[in-house]
Amino acid sequence: MISYKVRINTIRKRELAKDKNGKARYSYQVRWTVEREEFTKTFTTSALADSYRSSLLKAARDGEGFDTKSGLPTSMVEAEPEKVATWLEFAADYVDMKWKGLAARSRETTVESLAAMLPALVDDLPGQPDMRTMRQTLRRWYLPPAARKSDAPEPPPVNWKALHWLRRASLPVTAIKDAATARAVLDAMLLTMDGTPGKANTVLRRRRVVGNVMKYAVEVGHLDDDPFKRITWTPPKASKRLDRRRVPNPAQITELLTAISYVGSWERGRGRRLVAFFACMYYAMMRPEEVIALRVSDCHLPDKGWGLLTLEKATPTAGKAWTDSGKLHDEKGLKQRAEDEIRPVPIPPVLVAYLKEHIREFSTKNSDGRVFGNERGGRIVASTYSRVWREARPFAMTPDRVDSLMAAVPYDLRHAGVSLGLRSTRDPALIAERAGHSVEIMMSTYAWVLDDQDKIANKAIEDALGGDSHA
- Render pLDDT for 10-57 as a digit per residue (tens, 0 to 9): 998 887 655 556 667 778 889 999 998 889 888 878 888 899 999 999
Q: Tell me how far the alpha carbon of residue 278 is from its chain's centroid.
A: 23
Q: In this structure, what DSSP letter does residue 399 have?
A: H
Instruction: State how many domains the chain has.
Output: 3
Residues 271 and 413 reside in one and the same domain: yes
**What's the domain range around 64?**
2-77
- Give DSSP secondary structure letters for 323-349: SSSSSSBPPEE-TTS-TT--EEEEE-H
Q: Per the domain annotation, does 469 fall within a domain?
A: no
Residues 388 and 334 reside in one and the same domain: yes
Residues 289 and 343 reside in one and the same domain: yes
Residues 198 and 344 reside in one and the same domain: no
Number of H helices, E strands in the chain: 18, 11
Q: Per the domain annotation, does 465 fall within a domain?
A: no
Mean pLDDT score, 120-149? 93
Residues 71 and 92 reside in one and the same domain: no
Residues 365 and 418 reside in one and the same domain: yes
Residues 315 and 356 reside in one and the same domain: yes
Residues 6+ apart with CB under 8 A from 358: 273, 275, 276, 371, 372
Is residue 92 over pLDDT 60?
yes
pLDDT-based confidence at residue 366 (cuts at 50, 70, 90): low
CB 100 within 8 A of CB 85: no
Q: Per the domain annotation, does 99 fall within a domain?
A: yes
Residues 290 and 214 reside in one and the same domain: no
Q: Per the domain annotation, does 455 fall within a domain?
A: no
Q: What is the pLDDT of residues 264-320, one digit of tens each?
A: 876 677 899 999 999 999 999 999 999 999 999 999 999 999 999 999 888 777 777
CB 92 within 8 A of CB 166: no
Residues 208 and 348 reside in one and the same domain: no
Q: Per the domain annotation, does 163 fall within a domain?
A: yes
Cα separation, 87 vs 117, whole angstroms: 10
Residues 339 and 413 reside in one and the same domain: yes
Residues 142 and 160 reside in one and the same domain: yes
